[in-house]
Structure 1
Amino acid sequence: MPDPTDPAPADGDQRRPPRPPGTLRIGSIVGIDVLITTSWFVVALLIALAFGPRIEEAQPGLGFWKYVAGFAFAVVLYLSVLLHEASHAIVAKRLGYGVNSITLHFLGGMTEVDGQSRRPRHEFWIAVVGPLTSIAVGAVAALAASAMSEGLLREAMVLLAGANLLIGVLNLVPGLPLDGGRVLKALVWGASGNQHRGSIVAGWGGRITALALLAWPLVQEQVIGEPPTILDLVLVFILGLFLWTGATAAMAHARLRQRLPALVARPLARRTLTVPEDVPLAEAVRRAQEAEAGSIVTVAADGTPVGIVSEAAVTAMPAERRPWVPVSAVARTMEEGLTLPASVAGEDLILAISRRPAEEYLLVEADGRIYGVLSTADVDRAFRDNARR
């Protein structure tokens, strides 16, 4: 199903993000959390009500149990959607990308993969494997149905085959945020060498698809001989809006990403003063002002950085207390993720900050020397400035 996120390099030290609100964890596949939204129960109920009468025709006399059978079919159908999403996730992991979760929701499923693809072929294979999996499931279900006699089980296989073949084919439509849009993006990227151009072309493909879908009710009766129902109109509106907003968001994201290379940590770094941990805060501030340094780092006796002094904590400390408080009292201990290479820039910089949120980061050279301190506020300001250009 639609996969609105693009993959990025896996990071073994990356912390698992918190579970989105309104989701339940129902298990895991190859170490990837499988989540389900509360909206799924709504669509499962609608499927049960919609297919109940058809199940009654295949197996008369079920009464209320036809709706139970309809709900069971909804579960089986979403298990096939889970296979679709799991194929995205497994291929992404095999190509060396990080996968946070698989979520089943009202419109199908979503695989949350970190960041951007590194190569066009990676984008292609991660995207195309989902629709191919759905088509394969549909083909297997169709073969199973052909070998069965009339009855409830055969009817379930026919429905499962039709649903998966439809999901597979529709997801190959070349427009974002559908998988086919990502396939188109990969092809344009590979041909032009420009990833952002691929996103823009695929985004327009998604917009055109959305407009075609919204126009369908106007020609439905002429094409298939049946006028659109209220349910048809509602579904077309929901899907058309989903495609249009998804495509528009992808295009905006692509334009923003074109400006990311201009976001470089080195020129944003503040000049740094290093002081022992036991120096009084007032003295550390005096030395920093004298040296015209915008940040202070505490170091051990051997010069190893042990903490970054928080600008907010220094500001909050009353001036009369500063001579009696060690500078280490307002320093954040150097934890994993707070030290970044001085050369970090663009997407790598944004990912590093998002993985380990903090107010300041220590920038170090390749040989371990301290270059300076990077403030998140300075990065945000530079990011906004780049976005306005």
Structure 2
Amino acid sequence: MTQRSSGWRIGRVAGAPVLVTRSWFVAAVVLTLLFAPTVRAFAPAMGTVGVLVVAFAFVLLLFASVFCHEVAHALVARARGHRVDELALTLWGGHTAYSGAVRRPRDSALIAVVGPLTNLALAAAFWFLFTAQSSSSIPALLLYAGAFSNAFVGAFNLLPGLPLDGGQVLESAVWALTGSRTTGTVAAGWVGRAVGLAVVLGALVWPLVGGRSPDLFTVMWAALIGAFLWSGASEAMRAGRRRDAVSRIDVRTLMTTAVVVPAGSPVAEAGRAARGHGEVAVVVVDDRGEPTGWVDPQAAAAVPADQAAAVPVESALVPFPAGAAVALEQSGPELLEHLARVSGGARVVPVTDGGRVVAVLDVARVAAAVRPAGRR
């Protein structure tokens, strides 16, 4: 289940809520203050309030462009069969979250590339409107800024490294060539790290090439962007390895064989049923053959030997949640989604084959099979 961002809902697109997060307001203030000197230089006679209003208008124009970018992602994702969970405007611009496994490289590439292409199309439209202006004016300044910012956002997002959209395109290309999405993710993640380092080194080295000293403000912004790219690439690589581990999960490799005893059987019978089978779980079924729970070995062992033949097995029973049975053939993301939906926090769930109980599955073993990939 996708965890939604916290924020204010301002509408819906592609069936999903559009959210403005708290961090967006931080970005709006910072960008307004950063653009204000440009407005002041363009219109020196304008008062401070007017300068801030125009600067904020640019910020709204910029985030409207970001919103169009995310809407493009959302619409294509839905068209490719995914459920769109949210569109959010954030400190870093925005993101679109959608559910459902991406099964083909082409789908992933299309969903990714449409965002920056939307920005480049907007840049062209703003530039056309700017060139149609007959004189320098505040609207002309905003059109020029809209063209430049969209061109930058579109081009930057097409850089071939995760977590950028271009990185997802590169991931898809490597996936198509190798047949392994994880290989594509790792390759695009390393390129994303390289892009992050290049941004920082560019801010430091480029001025020196021109015989100037690096600007501290520019270096700070470059370091912030570089850290964002490095962190995003690293998380994408971890997620890719985790996804690979999930795809290899199979009920048959993690289950424990079960022996079945009917409800009302004495504890002694449960012990006899398990004897000689090695590692085995004892499952209690009702008169219809439906599993009701499993026998806790420690609770069963605590029953005095002279009473084991009379004490019903229900005294050591750990009930299964209703409908928690797992099919023998389930695996991968389907298995995890099923457990998340029906296990109800239970430690153990029954495994059935054609409606017959054949094993139990320890949920903690499933979690452990996924966790190592997330820690690499």
What's 1:364 paired with? 352
Amino acid aligned to 2:322? M
- Provide the C-alpha distance between the structure 2 equivalents of 1:221 and 1:191, rounded to a whole number of angstroms: 39
- Provide the C-alpha distance between the structure 1 equivalents of 2:146 and 2:360, rounded to a whole number of angstroms: 57
Give runs of ≥4 in structure 1 deviating > 6 Å: 322-329, 385-389
- Provide the C-alpha distance between the structure 2 equivalents of 1:324 and 1:30, rounded to a whole number of angstroms: 56
Q: Choose 1 or 2 for highest CA Rg.
A: 2
- Provide the C-alpha distance between the structure 2 equivalents of 1:310 and 1:62, rounded to a whole number of angstroms: 79
What's 2:115 paired with? 130
Cα 1:298–1:141 shift into 2, 3 Å: farther
Identity, in percent, stands at 33
Per-residue Cα deviation, 1:150-193 (whole angstroms, up to 9, x for no partner): 32222122111111110110111111111111111111111222
Amino acid aligned to 1:378? R
SS in 2 for 1:61: coil
- Provide the C-alpha distance between the structure 1 equivalents of 2:230 and 2:96, rounded to a whole number of angstroms: 20
Out of 14, 31, 49, the position equivalent to 1:64 is 49
Out of 76, 83, 94, the position equivalent to 2:68 is 83
- Provide the C-alpha distance between the structure 2 equivalents of 1:303 and 1:94, rounded to a whole number of angstroms: 44
Residue 33 (structure 2) pairs with residue 52 (structure 1): no
Residue 103 (structure 2) pairs with residue 118 (structure 1): yes
Out of 116, 124, 133, the position equivalent to 1:139 is 124
What's 2:329 paired with? 343
What's 2:273 paired with? 291
Out of 238, 261, 264, the position equivalent to 2:250 is 264
Out of 22, 25, 31, the position equivalent to 2:9 is 25
Out of 20, 27, 30, the position equivalent to 1:36 is 20
What's 1:6 paired with? none
Shift of 1:37: 2.6
Residue 95 (structure 2) pairs with residue 107 (structure 1): no
- Provide the C-alpha distance between the structure 1 equivalents of 2:77 and 2:198, rounded to a whole number of angstroms: 31
Query: Aligned pair count?
Result: 361
- Provide the C-alpha distance between the structure 2 equivalents of 1:34 and 1:125, rounded to a whole number of angstroms: 22
What's 2:160 paired with? 174
Cα 1:82–1:262 shift into 2, 3 Å: same
SS in 2 for 1:34: strand
Shift of 1:352: 3.6
Tell me the TM-score normalised to structure 2 length.
Answer: 0.81
Cα 1:109–1:57 shift into 2, 3 Å: same
Cα 1:228–1:297 shift into 2, 3 Å: farther
- Provide the C-alpha distance between the structure 2 equivalents of 1:263 and 1:309, rounded to a whole number of angstroms: 23
What's 2:277 paired with? none
- Provide the C-alpha distance between the structure 2 equivalents of 1:68 and 1:75, rounded to a whole number of angstroms: 10
Cα 1:49–1:372 shift into 2, 3 Å: same
Cα 1:286–1:76 shift into 2, 3 Å: farther
Shift of 1:373: 2.8
Q: Which residues in structure 2 correspond to 1:249-328 (within 5 Å)?
A: 249-272=235-258, 279=263, 283=265, 287-292=269-274, 294=281, 296=283, 299=286, 302-304=288-290, 308=293
Per-residue Cα deviation, 1:330-378 (whole angstroms, up to 9, x for no partner): 635424xx3433112234333443455632434333x433333322112
- Provide the C-alpha distance between the structure 1 equivalents of 2:375 and 2:200, rounded to a whole number of angstroms: 33
What's 1:5 paired with? none
Report the more deviating stretch, 105-114 or 234-243.
105-114
**Contact 1:272–1:297 (8 Å) recurs in 2:** no
Per-residue Cα deviation, 1:260-296 (whole angstroms, up to 9, x for no partner): 45421123223446677xx56xx57655444325253
Amino acid aligned to 2:132? A
- Provide the C-alpha distance between the structure 2 equivalents of 1:286 and 1:31, rounded to a whole number of angstroms: 57
Gaps of 5+ in 2: 275-279
**Contact 2:250–2:332 (8 Å) recurs in 1:** yes
Gaps of 5+ in 1: 1-15
Report the more deviating stretch, 91-100 or 131-140.
91-100
What's 1:7 paired with? none
**Contact 1:308–1:334 (8 Å) recurs in 2:** no
Amino acid aligned to 2:217? L
**Contact 2:73–2:111 (8 Å) recurs in 1:** yes
Shift of 1:56: 3.8
- Provide the C-alpha distance between the structure 1 equivalents of 2:288 and 2:105, rounded to a whole number of angstroms: 47
Report the more deviating stretch, 60-69 or 227-236.
60-69
Shift of 1:247: 1.9
- Provide the C-alpha distance between the structure 1 equivalents of 2:285 and 2:316, rounded to a whole number of angstroms: 7
Cα 1:206–1:339 shift into 2, 3 Å: same
Cα 1:361–1:150 shift into 2, 3 Å: farther
**Contact 2:204–2:219 (8 Å) recurs in 1:** no
